[in-house]
Chain A
Amino acid sequence: MTTLSFLHICLVLLLTESSSVDCNMLQFQQNKVNQASLQLLEKMGGQFPVQCLNENSNFISLQNVLSSREFQKENVMVAIQEILQQIFNIFSKSHIQTAWDRSSIVAFQNGLHQQIELLKTWFDGEKKMETTYPQNEDFTRLKVKKYFRVVDNFLKEKQYSLCAWEIIREEMRRCFLFMDQLTKRLKN
């Protein structure tokens, strides 16, 4: 147990050493993405429709899904990457709300895609492909996946109705606010 922890510490230290510079860029660009995405989510659909206020969503917020243990740099990277990919997938669905502003969706997707690619290069630089056993951050990713499974199922159950999409848009806004907190953890 102690040896494992020690090994883990060494590994994390080694990794933070080797990729500290790129981390600044990730953080800087992530901040830009967070701000731009919040604005675009607002812009694509405007105000939350009054007729959807009665709809019941009962989401456990992403913030509650991830415990503070996950807030270490390595985990934060994994969490952010998975969240971005999952959000990208939601907004790539062919059932996407047609009433929303098309150009905002395009800009939103384009921004997410750019950041996902950047994170991918960062992970690529880690060269950890040979480690096979599950690591701490794999469980963080799993939690994020589970949260988005709930989101996915919600949309399916509601048959991609206007209100379901509006609730998800609101929920995604909350995700970006949470990611803003996560991004602060990336600072060296």
Chain B
Amino acid sequence: MAPPPPELLLLLLPLLLGPEPLGAGQMNLTSPQNVQVDVVNTNFTLRWSWDSENDFNVTFSAQYQRTFEDLGKEETTDWKELSGCQNVTVTECDFSSAMTSYLDSYNVRIRAEKGEEKSLWSTISFIPDLIAKIGPPGVQLESIDGVVKINISPPEENQNRKMWRNDNFFTYNAMFWENSSNAEPKSKTINRRDTIYDLAPETTYCLKVQACIISERKVGSFSPVYCIKTTDKAWNVLPYPMNVEVHALNMKFLLSWDNQYDQNVSFTVQYLSGYLKRLSEDYSDKWITISGCVNITTTQCDFSSDIAISGIYFLRVQAMNGYNKSRWSNEIKVDPCVVNEIGPPSVTVSSSKDSLRIQLTPPGESENKSMSEFYDLSYRVLYWKNSSATEEKIKEEEQLLFTISDLTPLVLYCLKVQAFSPAYKKDGHFSDVACIKTLNDKTSPLTILKTFVIAMIAFFFFASFLIFGIYYIFRRIRYAFFPSCKPPSNIECLGGQPFNSPYLSTSEEPTENCCIIENIVIEETDQTDFKDYKHSKQSTRDSGNYSNDDDTSGTKVLEETLEQETA
């Protein structure tokens, strides 16, 4: 911790510097006591007390010097006469005109004078910016449609010299109360241009306002009290949309309001960038209509694409029925990252014997609006044994991939996950519950491999036997019931005169044997059939041209010849 800067000590002790020896004959007059500087806005007043009995011949005069920085070097001016505080007969004087830069530090000294007699100097140091107080702001009230509109002008609005150059950042604190009742005044922080809603109709309200600079711990003085009577709510026209609310999930923003209308009513939604309320210009013409929400008949409006994620926005809705327009609804403030709710992350779980491995995808990633872009996301896992009524356990993780260890084997565990942002103190929605069983204790990877290999081999054997068996049976069946050949006619002839085998007694067996033998003969006989046919027509061709292994060409030629014949 660094020691306080020297300026601090300087200011803490209201400096009454010791007497300066200025020559004889001056000690008879006492010097002014309790010297103080009061600064309100840019009005500087020097005050002191002088406890000698009233002596109308005594006057007071003051001098000042300024300490300022020039290119990083501190410089102090010589003592100069303080205009406005020369030969004063009372115990205060206004020296506003002598002060030029309110950020510099000043020394002011004052003494009593009576003819040639002069007292010792009493000195005080101050920095105007630090000791200045805020004056009252100006207030204008307007009563319209049952609400009160307030227009505040900052404490030094129309002045050239300004103590509060940053008047955009005054905080205005309004105290208002019902004039007739003895109710406690209500306090409300308001903007420069603001509206007080929720007031009783036809009632007189009184109000006073003060300006504050919170970061500088400065609280200004109150304005005079102003009173105004509210009008009757303008119900005879079209009522304005009520209960305007914003809901947002994964940065999809929906504005909704009550449907309280009997007739056909359409709505229009507008937004305003929040910073405009801080500026001195009137912002009433700066509202922007949301492109998708002009004359809509639903009581809901998606304005996600119209706003940026950073910044504060205000939204309002108007109802319309033909040429009838309601007044704009109460404005609703939207701070996107604060209003938004974080959806559930997507979860993938796998298990081993004593741990669960969890893989997450940040919320909104599937909609290409990952919440991890907007928040400092961490994840909270709630897990429990499904069987018993054991309590839930919590694990918090910043990573997207992690394991929960020290679990019991062969137990069904259930879990759900939510994303949360520590910075925004925001908890996301929980994912659906996922349940998974941890694996057997004894199952090592080696046994898993062994089991797998054995199962594979067994399966292979079984499958090959099966295929072979089916094939064999099929062949037998086909052989037995659907023989691939029919005995040709010439064999039938042979069959007509069955040769008598000495070994075969039954009549069927020999025919079977015949078939096998004549298998080769079948085609030859076919061929010979054709040959006979051709020979009868084209006797010039040699029969040797038609070989057995050239069936197709043979048939082609046959077809050609047939065609020729028909032609």
Chain B residue nearest in CB terms to A106: B273
Q: Is the CB of A145 within 8 A of B7?
A: no
Minimum C-beta distance from A43 to chain B (A): 13
The interface residues of chain A lying within 8 Å CB-to-CB of B217 are: 128-132
- Tell yes or no: B551 within 8 A of A by CB: no
Q: Is the CB of A134 within 8 A of B310?
A: no
Name B11's contact: one of A27, A60, A64, A133 (CB within 8 Å): A133
Q: Is the CB of B424 within 8 A of A113?
A: no
CA A133 to CA B72, docked complex, whole Å: 26
- Tell yes or no: A14 within 8 A of B by CB: no
- Tell yes or no: B531 within 8 A of A by CB: no
Q: Is the CB of A113 within 8 A of B8?
A: no
Q: Is the CB of B275 within 8 A of A146?
A: no
CA A8 to CA B12, docked complex, whole Å: 14
1/0 per residue, CB under 8 A from A, across B95-108: the answer is 00000010100000
A-B pairs with the 8 shortest C-beta distances?
A110-B311, A113-B275, A25-B423, A28-B423, A111-B310, A24-B423, A123-B215, A109-B275
CA A91 to CA B214, docked complex, whole Å: 22
- Tell yes or no: A53 within 8 A of B by CB: no
The interface residues of chain B lying within 8 Å CB-to-CB of A78 are: 215
Q: Is the CB of B423 within 8 A of A85?
A: no
What are 26 contact pairs spanning A and B, CB under 8 A? A1-B3, A4-B4, A5-B3, A8-B4, A9-B1, A21-B422, A25-B423, A27-B423, A28-B376, A28-B423, A85-B166, A89-B165, A110-B275, A110-B308, A111-B311, A114-B311, A120-B169, A123-B214, A133-B11, A135-B8, A136-B2, A136-B5, A139-B5, A142-B103, A145-B129, A146-B103
Q: Is the CB of B312 within 8 A of A113?
A: yes
Name A21's contact: one of B12, B72, B425 (CB within 8 Å): B425
B-binding residues in A (CB < 8 A): 1, 4-5, 8-9, 12, 21, 24-25, 27-29, 32-33, 36, 60, 64, 69, 72, 78, 81-82, 85-86, 88-89, 92, 106-107, 109-114, 116-117, 119-120, 123-124, 128-136, 138-139, 141-142, 145-146, 149, 152
CA A71 to CA B473, docked complex, whole Å: 93
The interface residues of chain B lying within 8 Å CB-to-CB of A123 are: 214-215
- Tell yes or no: B168 within 8 A of A by CB: yes
CA A135 to CA B308, docked complex, whole Å: 38
Q: Is the CB of B4 within 8 A of A5?
A: yes
CA A120 to CA B30, docked complex, whole Å: 48
Interface size class, chain B = 35 or more
Name B310's contact: one of A4, A107, A120, A142 (CB within 8 Å): A107
The interface residues of chain B lying within 8 Å CB-to-CB of A4 are: 4
CA A133 to CA B279, docked complex, whole Å: 31
Name A107's contact: one of B12, B72, B308, B376 (CB within 8 Å): B308
CA A24 to CA B72, docked complex, whole Å: 35
Q: Is the CB of B312 within 8 A of A142?
A: no
Q: Which residues of B from 1 to 30 have beta carbons under 8 Å from A?
A: 1-5, 7-9, 11-12
- Add 14 more A-B contacts to A109-B275, A124-B214 (CB < 8 A): A1-B9, A5-B3, A9-B1, A24-B423, A32-B310, A88-B168, A114-B311, A117-B274, A119-B215, A120-B214, A123-B214, A136-B4, A139-B8, A146-B69
Name A5's contact: one of B1, B165, B274 (CB within 8 Å): B1
CA A80 to CA B279, docked complex, whole Å: 20
- Tell yes or no: B304 within 8 A of A by CB: no
Minimum C-beta distance from A13 to chain B (A): 10
Chain A residue nearest in CB terms to B69: A146
- Tell yes or no: B51 within 8 A of A by CB: no
Minimum C-beta distance from B377 to chain A (A): 11
- Tell yes or no: B431 within 8 A of A by CB: no
Name A120's contact: one of B5, B69, B129, B215 (CB within 8 Å): B215
The interface residues of chain B lying within 8 Å CB-to-CB of A110 are: 273-275, 308, 310-312
Name A114's contact: one of B214, B335, B424 (CB within 8 Å): B335
Minimum C-beta distance from B8 to chain A (A): 6
CA A78 to CA B217, docked complex, whole Å: 12
Given A60-B71, A113-B312, A92 contacting B214 (CB threshold 8 A): no
The listed residue with most A CB atoms (<10 A of its CB), out of B2, B71, B273, B376, is B2
Q: Is the CB of A142 within 8 A of B129?
A: yes
The interface residues of chain A lying within 8 Å CB-to-CB of B216 are: 138, 141
